[in-house]
Amino acid sequence: MSGIQKKVSPFTKHFEARKEILDSWIKHMEFRRNPFLGFTLPNPELLVEMSEFLESLVDIVVSNERPAIFLRGPVGVGKSTHLILIRRDIQNLQDLHGNAFRTAYIDRSGLHARQFARLCAIGFNVKFNKSDDSDEIMDSVGKDIIEKYEKEKIRSVLLAEDISENQHEIFSKLQYLADLNAEKTEEPIATIIMTGTSEYFQALTAVLPQIADRSEPIDVPRFEWKHSREFIGRRIAYAKGEISSFDIDDFSIYPFEEDAAKILADSSRGIPRDLRLLCRASVSVTADALLRKEGKGEINYEIAKVVSEYYQSFLSEV
Ligand SMILES: Nc1ncnc2c1ncn2[C@@H]1O[C@H](COP(=O)(O)OP(=O)(O)OP(=O)(O)O)[C@@H](O)[C@H]1O
Ligand SMILES: [Mg+2]
């Protein structure tokens, strides 16, 4: 160590100590990494696919049942994840009339109308002038959508995250897109998929019924036990460096004991983000115990129960 003493805040000290304890558990388990890190983008190897749900979503888009879909659900249930999965799957599909799809994905929320319009144009690869206002940009986007449809048989799907602010302007733009009809068809040629909580959808219904009425709210399903178990299993395999050979029909969740995992899954109420946080906290408590030479680093029922009860108090507030 050098002689220079840096002043470290107690906060930093605390987190450094926590990290050391966690690292010693990771080492003890012979893992390569922390299994319960959060990722900003979904890591395909860690994804638990709810294939029936995803297929039904994609089917609604392909069959053109509705010009707008609202992916609804509580915080952390997987709305954004499914938005990205729809995008992945729709790009290789055609509808009954042989139309293909292109997508624009707007992942930033709280945009101003002009920013939103610009991102739409950029997402669909539509040229516009720097000085154009939002209506002019949306005009160009609209023209391009019609042209793509008529000349190249390509329908346009706009995926937009949590567009909770500046609703009026943005929604009028979205509606404009949803209303676009090719001259000869009665069918919408642009589909919008939005995400948000049910509170937000309710607000939408109150403020802009014309949009809410035309969009189909679809609830993202929560994890069942088998999904939660797979979620843990994948992350353990990932931590071991064995994710590429993950077998969905035969995997272990060790060092989680089965009944410990079950109680964590129950407490998460099937919400992946909560499950991850509960698992992470359980690992942290286990690592602490290991340091005191209690246990072998396994996440047992008692630990899972303590963590669940502790978390329950503020999970229910969300
Ligand atoms: N099917 C899944 N398999 C594995 N992990 C998932 C799945 N769905 C969601 N997750 C994980 O759970 C977390 C929350 O997911 P996501 O961001 O999609 O939720 P959200 O409903 O969009 O949340 P928010 O309301 O905060 O926008 C992410 O870390 C994501 O990786
Ligand atoms: Mg989201």
What was the pLDDT predicted at 220?
Answer: 98
CA pair distance 47, 35, nearest whole angstrom? 13
The CB of 272 under 6 Å from ligand 1? The reply is yes
* Residues 199-236: tens digit of each pLDDT: 888 887 887 777 778 788 999 999 999 999 999 999 99
CB of 8 closer than 6 angstroms to any ligand 1 atom: no
Q: 224-315 has which CATH code?
A: 1.10.8
pLDDT score, position 176: 82
**∠261-77-191 over CA atoms, to 5°?**
150
Residue minimizing CA distance to atom 14 of ligand 1: 76
Choice between 42 and 177, residue whose per-residue pLDDT is larger: 177
CB of 194 closer than 8 Å to CB of 69:
yes
- The answer to whether the beta carbons of residues 50 and 221 sit under 8 Å apart is yes
Q: What is the pLDDT of residues 285-315, one digit of tens each?
A: 999 999 999 999 999 999 999 999 998 877 6
> pTM for this one?
0.90
Q: Which residue has the tokens 């209303």?
A: 179
pLDDT digits (tens, 9 = 90+) for 255-291: 999 999 999 999 999 999 999 999 999 999 999 999 9
Q: Report the pLDDT value the prediction gives residue 262, as an integer from 0 to 100.
A: 98
Q: What is the pLDDT of residue 7?
A: 79
Q: For a pocket test of ligand 1, which of 80, 163, 271 has the largest count of ligand atoms closer than 8 A to its C-beta?
A: 80
Instruction: Please tell me the predicted confidence (pLDDT) of residue 169.
Output: 77
Mean pLDDT in residue range 123-149:
94
pLDDT, mean over the chain: 90
Asked if the model's pLDDT at residue 41 lies above 90, the reply is no
| Ligand 1 atom with the shortest distance to the CA of 223 | 1
Q: Which amino acid residue places its CA nearest to atom 28 of ligand 1? A: 273
Q: Does 76 sit in the ligand 1 pocket, CB within 6 Å?
A: yes
For 80-112, the pLDDT digits (tens) are 999 999 999 999 999 999 999 999 999 887 788
Label residue 30 exposed, middle or buried (CB < 10 Å: 0-12, 13-18, 19+).
exposed
How many whole angstroms from 47 Cα to the centroid of ligand 1?
9
Ligand 1, residue 162: give the atom nearest the CA: 27
Pick from 13-22, 43-52, 158-167: least confident? 158-167
204 versus 73: which is more confidently predicted? 73
Mutate to test the pocket of ligand 1, among 48, 52, 81 (most ligand atoms within 8 A of CB): 81
pLDDT higher than 70, residue 166: no
According to DSSP, the residues that pair with 219 across neighbouring strands are: 72
**Cβ–ligand 1 contact at 231 (below 6 Å):** yes
**CATH number 3.30.70.60 given to 51-219:** no
Ligand 1 site, residue 74, Cβ cutoff 6 A: no
Q: d(Cα 301, Cα 251) in Å, to the nearest integer?
A: 20
Task: Please state, in angstroms and rounded to a whole number, the distance separating the CA atoms of residues 84 and 255.
Answer: 31
Mean per-residue pLDDT for 133-152?
Answer: 93
Work out the average pLDDT over 238-247.
95
**Mean pLDDT lowest for which of 9-13, 158-162, 261-265?**
9-13
Domain with CATH 1.10.8 in the chain: 224-315
194 has a pLDDT exceeding 80: yes
Residue 221 Cβ inside 6 Å of ligand 1? The answer reads no
Residues with CB under 5 A from ligand 2 (ion): 79-80
Residue extent(s) of CATH 3.40.50.300 domains in the chain: 51-219
pLDDT of residue 317: 55
Q: Average pLDDT in the 121-136 region?
A: 94
Burial 118-132 (b: 16+ CB within 10 A, else e): bbbbebbebebeeeb
Look at residue 165 in the predicted model and tell me its pLDDT: 55
Ligand 1 lined by 75 (C-beta under 6 Å): yes
